[in-house]
Amino acid sequence: MKQVGPDLICLSHLRWNFVFQRPNHLMSRFAQEKRVYFVEEPVFDDAPPRLETKHVEANLTIVVPHLTTGTDQEASLAQQRRLIGSLVREQDIRQPILWIYTPMSLPIAADVEPSVVVYDCMDELSAFRGAPPALRERERELFSRADLVFTGGQSLYEAKRAQHPSVHAFPSSVDAAHFARAREGVEDPEDQRGVARPRLGFFGVIDERMDLELIARVADERPDFQIVMLGPVVKIDPASLPQRPNIHWLGQKSYKDLPAYLGGWDVAIMPFALNESTRFISPTKTLEYLAAGKPVVSTAIRDVVTPYGERKAVHIADATTFVAAVEAALAEPKEARLAIADEMVSATSWDKTWRSMSKLINEALQTKRSAVVRTEGNVPCSTI
């Protein structure tokens, strides 16, 4: 495979094998044309500091720093910085694209000499539970170093665009062909097979963004509705999950299996709480649900209301109207619904998003190279 442009080092707060989402889609595509090193947050054990590397695709390497248990934050950053430096030397990585998902990782890349710095701001991390107090200051520093800032949605773009001269909105996209398999009558997974109908389904991370009271309320108002919840429980006590005979917590599922679960749902739901942690989210699952051909009901997340609610692709509801919205979704004509869904899904793809991002990166590279040439051309003769 011919290498196109410099290598890419991605610093992520999300683990590659957590939930297959934006970083996975983008890095897999960049790996089609360049070496990609996906650096996760550290894990701690009793061994000396080291790097664990794993090749998951031909050009894609997952890098996990292992630090000694008990290492304090300052020493942890210093050790990661040294480990990343050793990776750059051993792999002969020269002037890579430095792609950052969390500003908190900025110090560990201090010795990397990037050709371009990209901040892919997919969420407002400072609004999440347990966010480090220093995150906002680190983000200001990252804005000062970044050449490009991408945002995971329109509302996040509006919040960030005044903080950097080159901010670009890239709402989460979709692998339409993958989720369209749900329309093909796929076999119901074993742990869902015994669940009665109608089924209301959700997949994704189950954390402080989830409106657990709403889920319980829907289950109580309509005991005949079977609510299927897929995904890891993170940052909240699993004991806080409402337990009802018609709520089914089935755990995390692999990305490849999601269409099979979706295929057995009657309505796909997004029961998000409306709070600081959901103020700027742009749920990837919106388009995935639509690609699967399912009617969708969501709470009033801003980036769902516009454009999906306004285009009648998604039913928008609150706690008092959610059941009625599900009933309306179940009753709506399938042909008209699919026409709207297909129109919205066809407008984007992860391939299109990746190509657009690549174009901006290449333009930034060219601009910086041209600036270097101009600067070198202006060196006084006496210094040559």
Nearest alpha carbon to residue 192 among 207, 208, 183, 203: 203
User: Is the separation of the CB atoms in 301 and 281 below 8 Å?
Assistant: yes
**Whole-number Å distance between alpha carbons of 202 and 219:** 14
What mean pLDDT comes out for the span 209-237? Answer: 98
In this prediction, residues 177-186 reach a mean pLDDT of 96
Output the average pLDDT for the chain.
95
Q: In what order do the strands lie in the sheet with 296-298?
A: 247-251, 226-230, 199-203, 267-270, 296-298, 315-316
Per-residue model confidence as pLDDT tens digits over 309-367: 999 999 999 999 999 999 999 999 999 999 999 999 999 999 999 999 999 999 999 99
For range 44-67, the mean pLDDT: 96
The highest-level CATH class for domain 176-346 is alpha beta
Could you read off the pLDDT of 72-87 as tens digits, one per residue?
A: 999 999 999 999 999 9
The band of 378, judged by pLDDT with boundaries at 50, 70 and 90, is: low
- Nearest-angstrom CA–CA distance, 263 and 67: 43
pLDDT at 327: 98
Assign domain 8-173+351-377 to its CATH superfamily.
Glycogen Phosphorylase B; (3.40.50.2000)
* Residue in 11, 218, 192 with CA at minimum distance from that of residue 100: 11
**CA atoms of 229 and 206, how far apart (whole Å):** 9
DSSP state of 86: H
Res. 381 pLDDT band, cuts 50 70 90: very low
Region 139-145: mean pLDDT is: 97
CATH topology match: 8-173+351-377 vs 176-346: yes
Residue-range domain boundaries for the chain:
8-173+351-377, 176-346
Helices and strands of the chain, counted as H and E runs: 13, 15
Number of C-alpha atoms within 13 angstroms, CB side, residue 37?
A: 26
Instruction: Give the pLDDT of residue 384.
Output: 29
